[in-house]
């Protein structure tokens, strides 16, 4: 089963179209393995653990506001499974 330990979801709040374009540049960097959940502002993106530092640094260097919407994706998925099993 997919393992999302260490994955976080960032909510990024570009202040204008220039910043939005800078965020979308990240999508083309395949090594980061980013998963854009939502492309409109605010932009939500799932960031694997190996890319967290790179993405944070990039956003901070460009003064793009963001916060961590989901700190531990796997914990949420585990909870979702637990609820489904408990009802079943």
Positions touching another protein (CB under 8 A) are: 1-2, 4, 9, 11, 30, 35-40, 44, 46, 69-70, 73, 76-77, 80, 83-84, 87
CB 25 → another protein: shortest distance, Å? 15
Would you say 54 or 69 has its CB closer to another protein? 69
As measured in angstroms, the least distance from the Cβ of 18 to another protein is 16
1 or 61: CB nearest another protein: 1
- Contact yes or no for 71/21 (Cβ under 8 A): no
Task: Please name the residues in contact with 14: beta carbons below 8 A apart, sequence gap of 6 or more.
Answer: 20, 22, 23, 41, 43, 64, 65
What are the two backbone dihedrals, phi and then psi, of residue 67, each rounded to the nearest 5 degrees? -145, 165
Encoded tokens for 22: 């800078």
**At its nearest, how many Å lie between another protein and the CB of residue 37?**
5
Are the CB atoms for 32 and 54 separated by under 8 Å?
A: yes
Nearer residue to another protein within complex by CB, 63 or 84: 84
């Amino acid at each position: 089963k997919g393992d999302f330990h260490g994955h976080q979801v960032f909510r990024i709040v570009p202040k204008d179209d220039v910043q939005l374009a800078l965020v979308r540049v990240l999508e083309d960097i395949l090594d980061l393995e980013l998963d854009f959940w939502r492309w409109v502002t605010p932009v939500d993106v799932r960031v694997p653990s190996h890319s967290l530092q790179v993405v944070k640094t990039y956003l901070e260097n460009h003064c793009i506001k963001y916060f961590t919407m989901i700190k531990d994706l796997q914990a949420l998925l585990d909870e979702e499974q637990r609820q489904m099993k408990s009802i079943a």
